[in-house]
Amino acid sequence: MTVYFNDKYIPHDEVKVSPFDRAFLFSDGVYEALRTYNNKFFRWDDHLKRLKYSLKELGINFNDFDRFKNIFTELADINNIKTDYSVYLQISRGVSFPRTHHYEDNLVPNVFSFAKPIKDNSKELTNGVKVILEKDLRWLRCDIKSTSLLPSVIANQNAIRNNAYEAILFRDDSITEGSHTSFFAVKDNKIFTAPLSNYILNGITRKVVLELCKENKIDSCEEHINVNELINFDEFFITGTTTEVTPIIQIDDWIVGDGKPGSITLKIQGLFFNTVKQV
Ligand code: PLP
């Protein structure tokens, strides 16, 4: 695979990064993940806004955003990607030597990006997935899309070990989100998702779903969901850039409803696909 690293397009195994890059030593960096539909970047402005927010919150000096569209398109071309694709972009604070927790303000960020074709997820979208519940062990700034992801990695690894797709996290008794997805529950045809705060990422697919609810007069709210009260809900689904709108049919050992994607979930999924088709 050819990747982008600091103004160069190079084979992925030829990238040279200093071990003193602060993302390597401290996870001191941010990232974004976006995708195309019909070869156009979906919700470009939202992704750019979130990236700028993450950089600002961590005080990483980076302003060179205008080239990104060209870089991503170039990555797809060079790698001969003909289908829709996802893009990973990482911006680290840069290299500081020797290792100290504090940093100088004039560091030069390292910029890394790669593109890959979207994996077929039609089975998960149609049949739904199993998730597990896990304690949310993340830090208190989950609103920043930082590369510091170890608790999410552990949670998702536990999910895979348990033949599940995703780990749904709870802090105290409140569901926050998935390890790499946003979480939704449905009760009496009303859609619930956790409110925006420092405890969750401002998911862009989450935002699209809430907009679709409003436009289509589907009752929705941003309210805490108690992990002990999940049993009172009728349906669940998760959302994300590549996860799209994926139904949940099992939580730990509990088969939700009749073990098939719920009707409201499928309605939202249908509305979502109509939206992305029109991109
Ligand atoms: N929540 C977390 C913790 C994530 O890492 C992600 C995506 O990576 C999401 C939610 C979904 O966000 P988006 O819909 O912008 O992809």
Average pLDDT score over residue span 30-57? 98
% the chain with pLDDT above 70: 100
205 pocket-lining for ligand 1 (C-beta < 6 Å): yes
Active site residues: 145
Please tell me the distance between residue 278's alpha carbon and the centre of ligand 1 in angstroms. Answer: 22
Kindly indicate the confidence band of residue 279, based on its pLDDT and cuts at 50, 70 and 90. confident
Asked whether the beta carbons of 242 and 35 are under 8 A apart, the reply is: yes
Q: Which atom of ligand 1 is nearest to the CA of 243?
A: 16
Question: pLDDT at position 158, please?
Answer: 98
111 pocket-lining for ligand 1 (C-beta < 6 Å): no
Nearest to 208 by CA among 193, 197, 223: 193
**Dihedral sign for Cα atoms in the order 62, 65, 66, 70:** positive
Instruction: Give the CA-trace dihedral at 125, 178, 47, 25, to 10 degrees.
Output: -130
58 pocket-lining for ligand 1 (C-beta < 6 Å): no
Nearest to 183 by CA among 143, 213, 223: 223
**195 prior amide bond cis, ω within 30:** no
Could you report the per-residue pLDDT of 80-117, keeping only the tens digit for each? 999 999 999 999 999 999 999 999 999 999 999 999 99
177 pocket-lining for ligand 1 (C-beta < 6 Å): yes
pTM of the predicted protein model: 0.98
